[in-house]
Chain A
Amino acid sequence: MENTENTAKQPLINLDEARELVMLLEAGMQDEADSRFLELMRRCEPNIYNEVGNLTRDLHEAIRSFAEDPRLRDIADVEIPDASERLRYIIKMTDKAANRTLDAVDACTPLVNKLTSSIDNLMPVWDRLMHGRIDRFEFVTLCHQIDEMLTQTKDNVDVLSSQLNEILMAQDYQDLTGQMIQKVIALVTEVEDELVKFLVSFGRIEGINPQLKSRTDALIDEAEQVKKSLEAQGPATQTMKDSGKVMATQDDVDDLLASLGF
């Protein structure tokens, strides 16, 4: 009556219980008193014990399922090494493409320089011809010079054209490495997703952190999207070619198609 709040809330200890404790202590029964006291305490905070129990169980479960997930084992054993090989291959391809392009530029530069210097050589006499101030001897020499330049330029233009083609073809690395990078991104996303899932299952104790939850859902969606668009294999790595399931060259492809009646 004097403390309505406490009666509503259920008192932590009542008079009978207090008396019982005093009685036990007065009788010198220390052990019984202690265990009675612990019992009363436990009644006050039953959740702590349950929570600690749940937490331990959930953590154990999360670690176990994380460690035993066959997909994760596959990622660690096969896909991470595979991704590393892809990344190394990307370095090699971009290096090759850059060198192919630079080699082509190196091959073209002297030809362009030669053309410029031939024109510079001819220009003064040509100017005089255009202004009608040229003698017969100079005219004949000019004709020979122009003839030589035309022949040379014709050859050089063929070289320039084939080198431009070389530069064009070198750019195929962008498509091929792009496909490989997409594969690696899909793997990184999946690993990230697994880690977040681990955190979420561990974080269940306090209820899922809503921010983490929406981030996980977004990641799972993203991973599925990427996976969907990547059902195809992309460019083959050397390991895949060595396995024999993948055709290593255009000739192998042609042979296979020929065997199918193409």
Chain B
Amino acid sequence: MNKNVKILIVDDFSTMRRIIKNLLRDLGYNNTHEADDGSTALPMLESGDFQFVITDWNMPIMQGIDLLKAIRANPKLRSLPVLMVTAEAKRDQIIEAAKAGVNGYIVKPFTAATLKEKLDKIFERIDG
């Protein structure tokens, strides 16, 4: 995958956004942008040419699951890959995210290796 891929990181905690941003930078992905919840992320996605979204679930105003559903419902954004990185670990929630069309699901706390593995897997599928 092109390392210049434009990625949007959505999380209401700025520390977590920084962590993910740093990990992505270590993996060679430098074109990252941030939003603090779904309602700020959606207009950014609609107007920008983002190629990848990493989002938390539990956020004020618009939650990650609703952002995912909004992305899948939008003809322009429908095929955008979405990786969920969240502390939500209930069976029902993971199933809901899968049904909504999530491309990967990472439970916090996670490791750098897990992030790399899931990213590689998603990019492999896109490229393949």
Count the A-B residue pairs with Cβ separation under 8 angstroms: how many? Answer: 93
B105 touches A253 (CB 8 A): yes
Please tell me if A232 contacts chain B, counting CB pairs below 8 Å.
Answer: yes
A200 to B57, CA, bound (A): 37
A-B contact pairs, 9 of them (CB 8 A): A169-B19, A169-B109, A172-B15, A232-B63, A233-B58, A235-B108, A247-B89, A250-B107, A257-B98
Chain B residues with CB under 8 A of A175: 11, 13, 15-16, 87, 108
A179 touches B107 (CB 8 A): no
Please tell me if A47 contacts chain B, counting CB pairs below 8 Å.
Answer: no
Of the residues B23, B87, B95, B110, contact of A179 by C-beta under 8 Å:
B87
1/0 contact string of A219-247 vs chain B (CB within 8 Å): 00000000001111111100001000111
A260 touches B58 (CB 8 A): no
B87 touches A236 (CB 8 A): yes
Chain A residues with CB under 8 A of B111: 169
A233 touches B88 (CB 8 A): yes
A173 to B26, CA, bound (A): 20
A230 to B59, CA, bound (A): 8
Of the residues A176, A236, A250, A262, contact of B114 by C-beta under 8 Å:
A250
**CB proximity of B9 to chain A, nearest CB, Å:** 12
A231 to B19, CA, bound (A): 25
Task: Enumerate B99-128 residues with CB–CB distance to A below 8 Å.
Answer: 105-112, 114
**CB proximity of B16 to chain A, nearest CB, Å:** 4
Chain A residues with CB under 8 A of B90: 233, 236, 245-247
**CB proximity of B104 to chain A, nearest CB, Å:** 8
**CB proximity of B115 to chain A, nearest CB, Å:** 10
Please tell me if B76 contacts chain A, counting CB pairs below 8 Å.
Answer: no
Residue of B nearest to A254 (CB): B105
Please tell me if B93 contacts chain A, counting CB pairs below 8 Å.
Answer: yes
**CB proximity of B125 to chain A, nearest CB, Å:** 10
A229 touches B107 (CB 8 A): no
Please tell me if A152 contacts chain B, counting CB pairs below 8 Å.
Answer: no
A165 touches B112 (CB 8 A): yes
Please tell me if B28 contacts chain A, counting CB pairs below 8 Å.
Answer: no
Of the residues A229, A232, A250, A256, contact of B61 by C-beta under 8 Å:
A229
Please tell me if B22 contacts chain A, counting CB pairs below 8 Å.
Answer: yes
Chain A residues with CB under 8 A of B16: 172, 174-175
Please tell me if A81 contacts chain B, counting CB pairs below 8 Å.
Answer: no
B94 touches A232 (CB 8 A): no
Please tell me if A157 contacts chain B, counting CB pairs below 8 Å.
Answer: no
Of the residues A168, A250, A253, contact of B22 by C-beta under 8 Å:
A168
A168 to B111, CA, bound (A): 11
A253 touches B26 (CB 8 A): no
Please tell me if A11 contacts chain B, counting CB pairs below 8 Å.
Answer: no
B94 touches A174 (CB 8 A): no
A169 touches B15 (CB 8 A): no
A250 touches B110 (CB 8 A): yes
A165 touches B26 (CB 8 A): yes
Of the residues A231, A235, A245, A250, contact of B63 by C-beta under 8 Å:
A231
